[in-house]
């Protein structure tokens, strides 16, 4: 019974990933809520600091814009746009300055040709294809194991591209936060106490990427074990 393989003991492998993912999301949500309510004494908004940080690093041609949603902040290297969420763009909280600085940290990575970011950007198309193909291949392999079981093997290793992507993402995100804090400290936009709060905010956000990497690895491990049981 092929579908039985989807409900056997290997599901237990995913429990740690589930727990740490829930914990990381709760941690970053709590930190965001807390530090969004603490105003930066400088009165500088997320948008203003993003523009200042880019200017101080002699970076031109990057647009800072508002985007709907909460914690939807991101840098799009395809059009050199930093998008800041509603709670960051026009707010002058510790969280707003921290998040804006982090996204601009990605801009610095792009313009300074930071290696891991270049690798991550290069493998994005491969990862998108892998994500689309992995589970259909595995499902077909499980349904027709006698004739097409090899597809389970192929699907498992195709999914490994997701693990590689998450692994490469870790240094990219940690480095962006490091650059963010360096620029925050150099600019004096936050007080010493606020800088400590900003660091805690960024550390909480970083844990979501650690959780994502763990989840993808454990998912691959489960798929690999399933493929070995053919």
Positions marked catalytic = 103
Distance of CA 179 to the CA centre of its chain: 16
Q: Which residues pair with 83 in a beta bridge?
A: 65, 74
Return phi, psi of residue 66, to 5°: -90, 150
Q: Which residues pair with 82 in a beta bridge?
A: 64, 75
Distance of CA 177 to the CA centre of its chain: 12
As a whole number of angstroms, the longest Cα–Cα distance in the chain is: 68
CB 162 within 8 A of CB 216: yes
Q: Per 3-state DSSP, what percentage of the chain is helix, strand, and coil (rounded to 5)?
A: 75, 5, 15
End-to-end Cα distance, the chain: 12
Distance of CA 165 to the CA centre of its chain: 10
Distance between CA 59 and CA 140 in Å, rounded? 49
């Amino acid at each position: 019974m092929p579908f039985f393989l989807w409900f056997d003991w290997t599901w237990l492998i995913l429990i740690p990933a589930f727990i740490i993912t829930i914990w990381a999301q709760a941690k970053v949500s709590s930190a965001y809520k807390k530090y969004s309510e603490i105003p930066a004494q400088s009165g500088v908004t997320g948008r203003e600091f993003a523009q200042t940080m880019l200017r101080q690093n002699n970076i031109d041609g990057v647009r800072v814009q508002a985007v709907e949603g909460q914690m939807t902040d991101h840098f799009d290297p395809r059009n050199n746009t930093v998008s800041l969420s509603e709670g960051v763009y026009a707010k002058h909280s510790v969280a707003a300055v921290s998040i804006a600085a982090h996204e601009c940290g990605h801009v610095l990575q792009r313009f300074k040709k930071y290696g891991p970011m270049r690798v991550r950007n290069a493998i994005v198309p491969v990862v998108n294809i892998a994500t689309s193909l992995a589970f259909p291949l595995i499902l077909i392999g499980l349904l027709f194991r006698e004739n097409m079981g090899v597809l389970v093997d192929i699907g498992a290793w195709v999914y490994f591209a997701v693990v590689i992507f998450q692994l490469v993402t870790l240094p990219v995100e940690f480095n962006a936060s490091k650059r963010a804090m360096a620029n925050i400290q150099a600019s004096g936009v936050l007080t010493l106490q606020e800088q400590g709060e900003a660091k805690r905010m960024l550390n909480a956000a970083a844990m979501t990427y650690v959780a994502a990497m763990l989840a993808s690895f454990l998912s691959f491990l489960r798929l690999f074990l399933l493929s070995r049981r053919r």
